């Protein structure tokens, strides 16, 4: 049998050996740096103990007024944009609250009298007010984005 010279074996495997050593040292350095700068678990406490509370609720008040003793047919949007239609004696008011970032307020009213008015108040500020006179008076109030 012929012996393989050590020099020939080292010529063939020295590059893979160096590559293995460099990768091992690099991995060790990176893992030490991660431990040193505490970046191994960035989301350790994410979601634990966080309480979501309501923020800036919007309070909308719809008012319809007219001659006392008259009736009005009123249609209005609630914060979820559902239409409600009612017939009630005047004056009438309803308070609605929501945490939605934007809401449209729409109110239409018709009376069997000769005077009617409507008002939309958002967080204490009158945003829209309209009135009308005449036989079976009709009016509307619209706030596009409250």
Does 44 score more than 70 pLDDT?
Answer: no
Q: Which helix (H) or strand (E) segment is 32 a member of?
A: helix 6-36
The stretch 22-43 carries a mean pLDDT of 80
Phi, psi dihedral angles at 134 (to 5 degrees): 130, 175
Q: Which of 83, 86, 129 is nearest to 110 (CA)?
A: 86
- Whole-angstrom Cα distance, residue 9 to residue 52? 67
Q: pTM for this structure?
A: 0.62
The stretch 121-129 carries a mean pLDDT of 93
DSSP 26: H
- Whole-angstrom Cα distance, residue 72 to residue 61? 17
**Contact (CB, 8 A) for 60 and 122:** yes
Angstrom CA distances, 117 to 11, 42, 93, 135, stand at: 99, 58, 12, 14
- Could you tell me the two tokens for 88? 């009630």
Q: Over the Cα atoms of the chain, what is R_g?
A: 37
49-60 confidence digits (pLDDT tens): 666 665 778 899
What local confidence, expressed as pLDDT, does residue 41 receive? 59
- Whole-angstrom Cα distance, residue 23 to residue 30? 11
Q: Which residue has the tokens 């945490």?
A: 99
Domains of the chain are: 58-143 (2.60.40.2880)
Does 40 score more than 60 pLDDT?
Answer: no
Terminus-to-terminus CA distance in the chain, angstroms?
A: 95
- Could you tell me the two tokens for 20? 């293995």
């Amino acid at each position: 049998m012929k012996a393989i010279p050590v020099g020939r074996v080292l010529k063939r495997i020295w590059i893979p050996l160096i590559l293995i050593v460099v990768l091992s040292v690099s991995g060790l350095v990176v893992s030490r740096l991660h431990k040193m700068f505490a970046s191994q678990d960035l989301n350790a406490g994410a979601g634990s103990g966080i309480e979501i509370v309501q923020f800036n609720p919007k309070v909308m008040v719809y008012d319809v007024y007219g001659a006392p003793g008259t009736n009005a047919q009123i249609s209005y949007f609630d914060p979820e944009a559902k239409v409600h239609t009612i017939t009630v004696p005047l004056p009438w008011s309803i308070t609605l609250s929501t945490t939605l970032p934007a809401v449209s307020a729409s109110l239409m009213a018709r009376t069997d009298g000769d005077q009617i008015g409507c008002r939309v108040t958002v967080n204490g500020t009158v945003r829209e007010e309209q009135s009308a006179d005449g036989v079976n008076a009709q009016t509307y109030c619209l706030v596009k984005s409250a």
